[in-house]
Structure 1
Amino acid sequence: MKEYRVEGLSCANCTLEMEKEIRSLKHGDTATLSYNSGKLRLDDNVSLEDVQRILRKDGAFLANPPVRPHSHDGHVQEEHSHEGHSHEDHEHRHGTTRRIVGLLAASTVLYLVALLAGEELAKSTEIVLYAIAAILSGHTTFLKGLKNLFRLKFNIDTLMTIALVGAASIGDWKEATLVAILFGLNELLEGMGMEKARKSMETLLQVAPKEAIKLEDGKEIVVPIDRLRAGDLVVVKPGGKIPSDGTVVHGRSSVNEAAVTGEPLPVDKAAGEPVFGGSVNNEGVLQVRIEKAYRDSSLAKIVHLVQEAQETKTPTELFINKFAKYYTPFIILVAVLVIVLPPLLLGGDWNHWLYEGLAVLIVGCPCALILSSPIALVSGITRNARNGILIKGGVFLELLGKLDTLAFDKTGTLTKGEPHVEKTVVYDKERFFEVAGAIERNSSHPLAQAVMKEVERQGLEIADADEIRTITGRGISATYRGKTYWLGNEKSLEHLTLPDRVQADIQSLKEQGLTLVLVGDADRVLGMFGIADQVREESRAVVAELHRIGIRRTVMLTGDHAKSAEKVAKAVGVSEYAANLLPEDKAARVQALASDGVAGMIGDGINDAPALASAQIGIAMGKGTDSAIETADVVLMQNHLGKLPEAIRIGRQVNRVIRFNLGVALGLKLLALLLTIPGWLTLWMAILSDMGATVFVTLVSLTILIQPKKKAG
């Protein structure tokens, strides 16, 4: 398969027709043409001459050369091909637009001359002026419609051709010309609207760097980004883009990561800290060791996913396309009945009702209907991507807008996933911290690290413990300064009879939802740490905001014990919680939630994979980790929940706009059709109802791209 950019796609319905024609070519049965993204995928064996012929009939053309779609290095090739031919394609596209505008302008001038000087001109001269004006603005529609008519293929061009020929045949040249001009203007505005949405998406995707400064034997060499490999050392100068994911090895600077995370504030970076490809280095010079070839970087995956998201069709789009297939023949039938029944049954004037029938045909143009969804979806996907929120397809954007139940993982999602000592109970101050530090200082366990942070605060000089032995399910035993000690949960001190005071302290810490780490020797308990996972600062505000925007159930799912789960649930304000769950239990709970509405699951994309996969919509967070991007339907590229309500709001706005657009498109057409009952519908009213609906739904859809200004303070 090869992928091509197609320039000049100005009509959603025409794009569907072109796709059908291309699929009828030899080897073309797998071809796809996306109006949303302007991309054509073709089998290598399809004749490009035949494809160009089909496209040029509608004023579209292939932008060469092709790229291999979604291959590992495809994005880079696509960017290079775009760079190499952007000027030529730009000129071609704008040349086509200028030609259309010029023809419409000439048609309008001729129309006005004929209209204003009509009484002073001979009838034949007046007709010639109208005819030339109609031909200038409507000749492409007429030629396509005539071919379709001979093939009994009824689409928008066929309907307009019948209407134009019919109006001219009954001597209504003035209205026939006005219809041709308005229809040409309508197609131009429709194309410009979709082009605006595509341009917004293209601007977003142009954040990818093209070249890198590679260090080889101490020399700086500029290389194309696709030549970088893991382990290469690159120099990133102030204002330059970091070429791929890596680690800073030398230098200090602030880095703008908005291209990946959507966060506008720069992040300070120094040696040893990770950086994302596509991030912009603000001031200092950084040396970065590349850890991934660009094709495997977070930014490349974002670009790939956003491109794919444009091309997926939602259930709403599929329904509209299917509806349009039956809608057009239905309109033709209604037009025939309008022409025939009143003269036959009510003695009406044949010429008048032929005129009314032609007007009904124009009302039947399905442009506004088909356009009511794609621009809104592309705008929603683009705006979310700007915010660092990846939506893997229009279908998931629609679902996000319908979400009413949201399940959360606890650790790493509502909490930071970084245990800290919240409380200490000390019975032997001289030995408690020293022994704990000696045993835990070389451990990488998260609980051990929390203990060590607390021990380091005491400022003690600590030696290593000896004979460290792990006791499965209990803790550790070790020798320190010639004496044996135990560290772990209550079971690690089963050799002791605990005094009432110690038992009371243990119970108290447990009731507070803390995880216990006890330290003791052969005779007594020295003290205990009460460890908790710190709740994220934004969690409570985010959960409250989700409830405020209409998420009726928020559920926390965790494998932690009930007391700890209860404590976090109360702290963040979720509606309900479930504790002691295995991964498969979480998945079952999420499936149960889906039976009562549209349910989503949000987790870190690693240990929550079964639950994310089971949800109607899986949402992962975690600054672009590979597992997060691959597992979920929606990815929050930040390492927090702050932008989740905004993503849901955008999904709801998109759904509202699509419903509104459908209502406007169908409503204006219905209103126009009702005017046929008393015989008041005119050709110019019909074209204005279709044109008005098309332009209106386009403008309304583009409002989704507008980012609301944040209130001060």
Structure 2
Amino acid sequence: MANKTQFIGETKHSCNDSCCSESSAALTQPEIPSCSCCSPEDSPTDADRNHTGHLDEEADAIEEHCDCCSHPAAPATAKSDISVNNFTITGLDCGDCAIKLEKGLRKQEGILDVKVNFATAKMKVTHNHTIIQAAEIAKIVSSFGYKASLINAINQQSQFHKSVFTVSGLDCGDCANKLEKHLSTLTGVHSANVNFAAAKLTVEHATTDSAIIQAVSQVGYKAEMNTQSIQHAKIQEEWWNNPKTQATIGSGIILAISMILDWLAIGDIFIVPLYVLAAIIGGYSTAKSGFYSMRSLTFDMNFLMTVAVIGAFAIGEWGEGATVAFLFSFGNTLQTYTMDKTRQSIRALMELAPAEALVVRNGLEQKLPVEEIVIGDHIIVKPGERIAMDGIVKNGTSAVNQATITGESLPVEKTIGDGVYAGTVNEHGALEIEVTKIATDSTLAKIMHLVEEAQSQKAPSQQFVDLFAKYYTPAVLAIAAGIMVVPWLLFNQPFSPWFYKGLVLLVISCPCALVISTPVSIVSAIGNSSRNGVLIKGGAYLEQMGTIRAIAFDKTGTLTHGHPRVTDIISINSSQEDVLTTAASIEKWSEHPLAVAIVEKSAGLTLRSVTNFKALVGLGAQADINSQTIFIGNPRLFEDLGLDLSPYQKQITDLQQQGKTLMLLGTQDNLHGMIAVADTLRENSKDALVQLREAGIKHIAMLTGDNRQVAGSIAKELNIDTLYSELLPQDKVATINELLTNYQNVAMVGDGVNDAPAMAASTIGVAMGVAGSDTALETADIALMSDDLGKLAYVIKLSNKTLSIIKQNISFSIIVKVIFVILTFTGIANLWLAVFADTGSSILVTLNGMRLMRKIN
């Protein structure tokens, strides 16, 4: 397997001295820890985990290797062999002791992951119970000088389930990271993922949902089940009614009054209480969250700001303390508003499908909630209404606006037998629709689910951000603490100025703008693509699409329509209409694809009565019309009949060289005409490939199982760089591997079903026309809901734009932090300016990321 599957099949690790032992720890999916010979920092990344979903069925065949010896590690652990044990640890004296215990246990054979929570004195161990038992783990802990008491044992396969919550009260991206870490250490929690940009919390756990909600509330936030998110979203739209917003306004008014009185030199006895009141009103929610943060030992921005305000008051800087509280509250209010705008793209999807539909049961029409409507029910959709359920038109004709699903700009004509999707708009004409999917299984519901999952995944660029934040914040905190006390203790410097500088460093130690710089961009871009009929499964795929330099297309159904169409009608001893009418009259009795194409072309013509129809296997067919036997078939049929085709040989050869299948019509003595049939190009295929080259694609290949003559004519018309014909599915995989060798990053575009192996072997698998196809939606990394190939160039441009904005955000965030660290030491930066820079930069990167919500030209 190449490229894509290298994330799980060819992962390289840096090794320590214990690397080359034959008893390397078994590795496993779904939670991929480091191997026994590697440090935790070298473990597979989130991006790697994202890729493991491609070929779950091949996971057992995949091995990991070490750089130093290239020996394969133990084969992947079966899910049934994985257990998670929770222990209470006695004797832990410091956080560093907890870290050392983690590292020591990770080196033991059979232990897959260890998390020690020093604050709660709890330890969670994921292990292969066929190699090491819980009692053995407790014994190993005792060898480190601690005591481990087993709380409970959870079998991963049977007990864990996933819950999704909407979280309110998160003020910054770093707060989200700290909440995630806090939840991950709780008993019964296997994994927790907090997506600040989407305000979503996903927890895989073996406890109750109410326990998770309570755990979230204990650190100062509010969580509710995701089923309440629509109502919650509508409440949040009235931002001016938000208590935090009102508190910010009140704090600002009192602060302004205080400053005016201060300027007028009114006595401190009046001014100081007003400053304190402004700080209390503006900083109450911040202090409350800071308290919860301190209690759980997750020192987030709220805690640091609270310390800064109290510290400023302690050294008599009343005005600056109140200003810090107000500016931080004001910044959070603005950031909440801008982030809410970003999240609106998904909320808009949620509100597309009506909550009720007009159902016909027992001859009576009644309004029912969509949850009560079952497969097989018939619903009535009037002009101008949104369709509530996926289904098939049983009566009526209309034009349906499918832009919400496929991104098509023009309405699509629908008649009896055509499929329709929930959330689309019936433009004119009433439709009676037979429901084919329940509400929770509709195409729109699947899109919403996949988009939310995509937005929760961390992109590769986020790994750099997390790594930077991991070291930056503790480093600055340590420097701040040193500045506060070292000059005073060791160099006899005045306390207040250095303590003040330490407070400034505290304010700028939290990398909020940096942490949010990537997710807000990813959320905006994925929301943009979903509104334009393109489903991107995650930030990793969005970023990778911008690195693609070669694209391989399947031919049939991708570049072409996927079924034969009549391209030429040549009359010889008759009119074109007569040739088509006669041919269709015979072919309507055949089920051959070529016959179907001819009958479709004759729509609207009056066909003739035929008798004695007979299929001629491998040649064509014959039937009697008006007592005369008429033949239709390939040139060989007429050669066998003894007809001289030499006068028509040039026309026959020219059409065949164009990759068309030729059917001749006539009697045993005379040729009446010829009909050419071919799988024709999609109307926009040629333009789409031109746009791809303009977007930076260097090489375009076509992969097909068709013969070279037919495929060659299409490749020539489209100016394809390389044609690979007469390929079996395994040949397509080999071809993708060859392209990967030459171009490193390759996308494979197909139908998402037949091309699944080749798509899995490529860097990015793109399926097109997947609306209504559950299999294709699940298979592809990127899914085009319609058959518009022009969306590919749009996705590449969107990816490039996203990468550019992410780089801008990260660079800007780091530069601001570095500048303010320098300004602090020079004495130029003060508290309120530091708060302004911190919250201001967060808002600026958010607004910059939101630019991706606009249409990409």
Instruction: Judge same fold: TM > 0.5, yes or no.
Output: yes
1:180 paired with 2:325, answer yes
* CA distance in structure 1 between the aligned counterparts of 2:360 and 2:468, rounded to whole angstroms: 59
Residues 492 and 290 of structure 1, relative CA distance in 2, 3 Å threshold: farther
Q: Which has the higher contact order (CA 8 A, sep 6+)?
A: 1
Q: What amino acid does structure 1 have at the position aligned with 2:391?
A: G
Quick check: 1:28–1:46 contact (8 Å CA) kept in 2? no
Q: Aligned runs of 1:154-165 on 2, under 5 Å?
A: 154-165=299-310
Residue-by-residue CA offset, 1:582-608 (whole Å, 9 max, x unaligned): 222223222333342332122223332
1:62 paired with 2:223, answer yes
Residues 433 and 590 of structure 1, relative CA distance in 2, 3 Å threshold: same
Residue 178 of structure 1 and its aligned partner are, at CA, apart by 2.0
* CA distance in structure 1 between the aligned counterparts of 2:351 and 2:297, rounded to whole angstroms: 44
Residues 436 and 19 of structure 1, relative CA distance in 2, 3 Å threshold: same
Residue 527 of structure 1 and its aligned partner are, at CA, apart by 6.7
* CA distance in structure 2 between the aligned counterparts of 1:343 and 1:277, rounded to whole angstroms: 69
* CA distance in structure 2 between the aligned counterparts of 1:133 and 1:453, rounded to whole angstroms: 77
Residues 538 and 115 of structure 1, relative CA distance in 2, 3 Å threshold: farther
Residues 395-404 or 217-226, more deviating:
395-404
Alignment correspondent of 1:12? 173
Q: Aligned runs of 1:128-277 on 2, under 5 Å?
A: 128-142=273-287, 144-145=289-290, 153-277=298-422
Secondary structure of 1:534's counterpart equals coil
Quick check: 2:813–2:841 contact (8 Å CA) kept in 1? yes
* CA distance in structure 1 between the aligned counterparts of 2:828 and 2:206, rounded to whole angstroms: 54
1:645 paired with 2:793, answer yes
Residues 405 and 89 of structure 1, relative CA distance in 2, 3 Å threshold: same
* CA distance in structure 2 between the aligned counterparts of 1:97 and 1:504, rounded to whole angstroms: 82
Residue 372 of structure 1 and its aligned partner are, at CA, apart by 0.4
Residues 424 and 257 of structure 1, relative CA distance in 2, 3 Å threshold: closer
1:443 to 587, 590, 594: 590
1:532 paired with 2:678, answer yes
Quick check: 2:403–2:424 contact (8 Å CA) kept in 1? yes
* CA distance in structure 1 between the aligned counterparts of 2:823 and 2:537, rounded to whole angstroms: 44
1:566 paired with 2:704, answer no
Residue 665 of structure 1 and its aligned partner are, at CA, apart by 0.5
Alignment correspondent of 2:750? 603
* CA distance in structure 2 between the aligned counterparts of 1:590 and 1:85, rounded to whole angstroms: 46
Quick check: 1:439–1:468 contact (8 Å CA) kept in 2? no
Q: What amino acid does structure 1 have at the position aligned with 2:222?
A: F
Identity across aligned pairs (percent)?
Answer: 34
Residues 153 and 37 of structure 1, relative CA distance in 2, 3 Å threshold: closer
Residues 504-513 or 587-596, more deviating:
504-513
Residues 38 and 406 of structure 1, relative CA distance in 2, 3 Å threshold: same
Q: What amino acid does structure 1 have at the position aligned with 2:443?
A: S
Quick check: 1:110–1:133 contact (8 Å CA) kept in 2? no
1:309 to 416, 441, 454: 454
Quick check: 1:487–1:518 contact (8 Å CA) kept in 2? yes
Quick check: 1:544–1:573 contact (8 Å CA) kept in 2? no
Residues 663-672 or 181-190, more deviating:
181-190
Alignment correspondent of 2:845? 697
* CA distance in structure 1 between the aligned counterparts of 2:846 and 2:802, rounded to whole angstroms: 13
Alignment correspondent of 2:692? 546
Residue-by-residue CA offset, 1:36-58 (whole Å, 9 max, x unaligned): 33233454734737734643653
Alignment correspondent of 1:370? 515
* CA distance in structure 2 between the aligned counterparts of 1:592 and 1:341, rounded to whole angstroms: 62
* CA distance in structure 2 between the aligned counterparts of 1:584 and 1:206, rounded to whole angstroms: 43
Residue-by-residue CA offset, 1:436-459 (whole Å, 9 max, x unaligned): 556533223332233445678997
Residues 204 and 485 of structure 1, relative CA distance in 2, 3 Å threshold: closer
Secondary structure of 1:407's counterpart equals strand
Residue-by-residue CA offset, 1:46-99 (whole Å, 9 max, x unaligned): 4737734643653x3234xx46xxxxxxxxxx3xx5677777777899443344
Residue-by-residue CA offset, 1:370-408 (whole Å, 9 max, x unaligned): 110122111111111111222222222222333332222
Residues 692 and 434 of structure 1, relative CA distance in 2, 3 Å threshold: closer
Residues 492 and 38 of structure 1, relative CA distance in 2, 3 Å threshold: farther
Alignment correspondent of 1:21? 182
* CA distance in structure 2 between the aligned counterparts of 1:487 and 1:703, rounded to whole angstroms: 59
Secondary structure of 1:675's counterpart equals helix
Residues 617 and 86 of structure 1, relative CA distance in 2, 3 Å threshold: closer
Q: What amino acid does structure 2 have at the position aligned with 1:461?
A: R
Alignment correspondent of 2:781? 633
Q: Aligned runs of 1:45-84 on 2, under 5 Å?
A: 45-46=207-208, 48=210, 51-52=213-214, 54-55=216-217, 57-58=219-220, 60-63=221-224, 66=225, 78=227, 81=228
Residue 161 of structure 1 and its aligned partner are, at CA, apart by 3.7
Residues 82 and 489 of structure 1, relative CA distance in 2, 3 Å threshold: farther
Q: What amino acid does structure 1 have at the position aligned with 2:812?
A: V
Residues 492-501 or 384-393, more deviating:
492-501
Residue 194 of structure 1 and its aligned partner are, at CA, apart by 1.6
Residue 476 of structure 1 and its aligned partner are, at CA, apart by 4.1
2:828 to 656, 680, 692: 680
Q: What amino acid does structure 2 have at the position aligned with 1:276?
A: Y
Q: Report how many residues are paired.
A: 689
Alignment correspondent of 2:728? 582
Quick check: 2:240–2:246 contact (8 Å CA) kept in 1? no
Q: What amino acid does structure 1 have at the position aligned with 2:756?
A: A
Secondary structure of 2:783's counterpart equals strand
RMSD between superposed Cα atoms in Å: 3.7
Tell me the TM-score normalised to structure 2 length: 0.72
* CA distance in structure 2 between the aligned counterparts of 1:270 and 1:152, rounded to whole angstroms: 63
Quick check: 2:244–2:285 contact (8 Å CA) kept in 1? no
Residue 220 of structure 1 and its aligned partner are, at CA, apart by 0.6
* CA distance in structure 1 between the aligned counterparts of 2:296 and 2:361, rounded to whole angstroms: 65
Quick check: 2:707–2:725 contact (8 Å CA) kept in 1? yes
Alignment correspondent of 1:74? none
Quick check: 1:245–1:290 contact (8 Å CA) kept in 2? yes
Quick check: 1:428–1:527 contact (8 Å CA) kept in 2? yes
Quick check: 1:110–1:130 contact (8 Å CA) kept in 2? no
Alignment correspondent of 1:34? 195
* CA distance in structure 2 between the aligned counterparts of 1:307 and 1:488, rounded to whole angstroms: 53
Residues 593 and 94 of structure 1, relative CA distance in 2, 3 Å threshold: farther
Alignment correspondent of 1:557? 703
Quick check: 1:339–1:354 contact (8 Å CA) kept in 2? yes
Residues 229-238 or 450-459, more deviating:
450-459
* CA distance in structure 1 between the aligned counterparts of 2:391 and 2:297, rounded to whole angstroms: 60
Quick check: 2:358–2:380 contact (8 Å CA) kept in 1? yes
Residue 18 of structure 1 and its aligned partner are, at CA, apart by 2.2
Residue 193 of structure 1 and its aligned partner are, at CA, apart by 2.0
Residue 666 of structure 1 and its aligned partner are, at CA, apart by 0.5
Residues 182 and 88 of structure 1, relative CA distance in 2, 3 Å threshold: closer
* CA distance in structure 1 between the aligned counterparts of 2:416 and 2:824, rounded to whole angstroms: 75
Residue 121 of structure 1 and its aligned partner are, at CA, apart by 0.9
Quick check: 1:114–1:130 contact (8 Å CA) kept in 2? no
Alignment correspondent of 1:618? 765
* CA distance in structure 1 between the aligned counterparts of 2:581 and 2:459, rounded to whole angstroms: 62
Residue 664 of structure 1 and its aligned partner are, at CA, apart by 0.8
For structure 2, list consecutive stretches of 5 or more residues without a partner in the other structure.
Answer: 1-160
Residue-by-residue CA offset, 1:337-380 (whole Å, 9 max, x unaligned): 55577779998655433333332222222110111012211111
* CA distance in structure 1 between the aligned counterparts of 2:748 and 2:232, rounded to whole angstroms: 43
Residues 614 and 680 of structure 1, relative CA distance in 2, 3 Å threshold: same
Residue 478 of structure 1 and its aligned partner are, at CA, apart by 5.2
Residue-by-residue CA offset, 1:192-211 (whole Å, 9 max, x unaligned): 22222112320222101211
1:663 paired with 2:811, answer yes
Residue 327 of structure 1 and its aligned partner are, at CA, apart by 1.6
Residue-by-residue CA offset, 1:664-708 (whole Å, 9 max, x unaligned): 101111122222453433223322221221111011112222236
